[in-house]
Amino acid sequence: MDDGADLVSTIHNDYQELIPDILGGTEETTTGVIRLRAMAADGALKFPVVAVNDAKTKNMFDNRYGTGQSTLDGIIRATDILLAGKVFVVAGYGWCGRGLALRARGMGADVIVTEVDSVKALEARMDGFRVMPMEAAAEEGDLFCTVTGNIHVLRKEHFERMKDGAILSNSGHFDVEIDIPALAALTEGVRKDVRPFVDEYTVAGKRIYVLAEGRLVNLAAAEGHPASVMDMSFATQALACEWMARQEPRLTPAVYDVTNELENGVASLKLASMGIQIDALTDEQQKYLADWRHGT
Ligand SMILES: NC(=O)c1ccc[n+]([C@@H]2O[C@H](COP(=O)([O-])OP(=O)(O)OC[C@H]3O[C@@H](n4cnc5c(N)ncnc54)[C@H](O)[C@@H]3O)[C@@H](O)[C@H]2O)c1
């Protein structure tokens, strides 16, 4: 079970002798799936991997509700800032960004979304958020949080435009979304450690605060996601391992999606654990849906 494809790439680079005994792997997060698909496209992937991250029972819940909540938790624990009335810039409107933007708005912040994908940007706008390029958002934001999986989403030209007191954090990938070396290079004097998880940089007389050294703020400054959302991710992981082990003949090296049956099984178990029941299609409804002669 991998997270970020770190284990898979270490095995492929440094421990290739283990590969013949490996039945397969599962991948927990967006960045890892992107890497694994790139490995598969290059013909470099030597065993099958299930993209657990891409299952609805993972990204719709863990990424959206888990990251949405725990990221705000990390920012608030680190800074004790009041979000109401602040301009909160969310970079990336994927699963994590949607959850984060919605929660920041719920706390009274004026939320700006930045995107590179037109459809996601349009969705963010129609969800009621302001959308603009980071260059413009940089001048407005009191807080910034990156959740893109990409590098240098906040960089030199943005730092130079920011207001005094801007607070930067990342809840996306590793420590690469904020270009910290570029910020350090712009900084006058030394970086100051002003309170746990908060570093102060001074750029052209303006103070810029970076949380958790640009690493995942929800893991560094808070406790990550609550167990009651990770249960769905780990159930999907465990059942994906079982599915993989049961495949005859053995799966060939590629990235596989979690089956619908497995996803529905996890969702049903979660509903049952919450004491929630739902309706089932009647025979008449099933026939109606299956018959193209019905309807207009
Ligand atoms: N902190 C955590 O605990 C946690 C949990 C789950 C996922 N993640 C990580 O969060 C990141 C995002 O995950 P996701 O599921 O939301 O992915 P996603 O693919 O659904 O969304 C990422 C979004 O970022 C956008 N994007 C890419 N480059 C951008 C740029 N330069 N500026 C603005 N937007 C840009 C993409 O268009 C996309 O809409 C990944 O790195 C993932 O591994 C972190």
- Using the predicted structure, report yes or no on whether residue 296 has a pLDDT greater than 80: no
C-alpha 97 to ligand 1 mean position (Å): 7
Answer whether 99 contacts ligand 1 (Cβ < 6 A). Answer: no
Answer whether residue 293 shows pLDDT above 90. Answer: no
Do 171 and 91 contact (CB within 8 A), yes or no? no
Mutate to test the pocket of ligand 1, among 27, 60, 63 (most ligand atoms within 8 A of CB): 63
The confidence band for 3, taking pLDDT boundaries of 50, 70 and 90, is very high
For ligand 1, the distance from its centroid to the CA atom of residue 118, given in whole angstroms, is: 15
Stretch 176-205: mean pLDDT:
94
How does DSSP classify residue 190?
-
* Residue 149, ligand 1, Cβ within 6 A: yes
157 contact partners, CB below 8 Å, separation of at least 6: 135, 138
- Cα gap 129→134, rounded to integer Å: 14
Taking residue 161's Cβ as centre, other Cβ atoms within 10 Å add up to 18
Using a 6 Å cutoff on CB, does residue 92 contact ligand 1? Answer: yes
Sequence-distant (≥ 6) Cβ neighbours of residue 134 within 8 angstroms: 89, 91, 114, 153, 154, 158
Q: Decide: 63 in ligand 1 pocket, CB within 6 A.
A: yes
Q: Given CA atoms 189, 191, 194, 200 in this order, what sign does their dihedral have?
A: positive
Close Cβ partners of 161 (under 8 Å, ≥ 6 residues apart): 135, 138, 139
Is residue 200's pLDDT more than 90? yes
Q: What is the tens place of the pLDDT at every residue in 77-127? A: 999 999 999 999 999 999 999 999 999 999 999 999 999 999 999 999 999
Instruction: Check residue 261 and give its pLDDT.
Output: 96
Tell me how far apart the alpha carbons of residues 133 and 97 are, in angstroms, rounded to a whole number.
15
* Average pLDDT taken over every residue of the chain: 96
Q: For 25-41, what is each residue's pLDDT tens digit? A: 999 988 899 999 999 99
| For the CA of 150, the nearest atom of ligand 1 | 28
List the residue whose alpha carbon is closest to atom 38 of ligand 1: 94
Give the mean pLDDT of 142-164: 97
Q: Which amino acid is at 293?
A: R
Residue 138 Cα to ligand 1 midpoint, Å, equals 19
Q: Which residues of 251-284 are buried (b: 16+ CB within 10 A; e: fewer)?
A: beeebbebeeebbeebbeebeeeeeeeeeeeeee
pLDDT of residue 72: 98
Centre of ligand 1 to C-alpha 147, Å, is: 4
- For the cut 70, the answer to whether the pLDDT of residue 16 exceeds it is yes
- Ligand 1 contact via 153 beta carbon (within 6 Å): yes
3-state secondary structure of 114: strand
Q: How many angstroms separate the alpha carbon of residue 279 from the centre of ligand 1?
A: 34
Position 8 pLDDT exceeds 70: yes
Averaged pLDDT for residues 19-27: 95
Q: What is the mean pLDDT of residues 143-157?
A: 97
Cβ–ligand 1 distance for 146 under 6 Å, the answer no
pLDDT above 90 as % of the chain: 95
User: How confident is residue 2, by pLDDT bands cut at 50, 70 and 90?
Assistant: very high
CA distance 185 to 142: 22
> Which range is least confidently modeled, 145-154, 171-180, 185-194, 198-207?
185-194
Judged against a pLDDT cut of 70, whether residue 295 lies above it is answered with no
- Percentage of the chain beyond pLDDT 70 is 99
Residue whose CA lies nearest to ligand 1 atom number 1: 171
